[in-house]
Amino acid sequence: MSLLNALGKNCGIQIRVRDYHQHATGAGSDAQAVSFIEAETANGKVLWGVGIDSNIVAASLKAVTSAAIRAAAAKRACAEALRTISITGGNSPPVLFWSER
């Protein structure tokens, strides 16, 4: 199972990698791999992840993890914002109130 599948199944974080780039910093035994991914959440939000490691696979996994952390933070922020909404209605059309915290 891939990391993306595991994040979706176990954490509820659905992201799709839209673009991927990897570069090296330094040279020789001091070289580090830097991975950049552009990801998209299930609701279409675009976000980025970056990972740095001496191992190219680990750098890639760190980039995916970075994007997943951003997706989770955006999801939490949305949930927090939804908690600030109150709707009144009764017999009249609903009125939406949004309070800033």
Instruction: Compute how many other C-beta atoms are within 10 angstroms of the C-beta atom of residue 58.
Output: 14
Supply the pTM of this predicted model.
0.74
Number of domains in the chain: 1
What is the CATH classification number for the domain harbouring 65?
A: 3.30.160.270
- pLDDT at position 4, please? 86
- pLDDT at position 1, please? 44
- pLDDT at position 86, please? 56
Cα dihedral sign, 9-40-86-96: negative
- Which range marks the domain in which residue 60 is found? 3-98
12: nearest Cα among 40, 41, 38: 41
- pLDDT per residue rounded down to tens, the chain (101 residues): 488 888 888 888 899 999 999 999 988 888 999 999 999 998 899 999 999 888 888 888 899 999 999 998 888 877 677 666 555 555 555 554 555 54
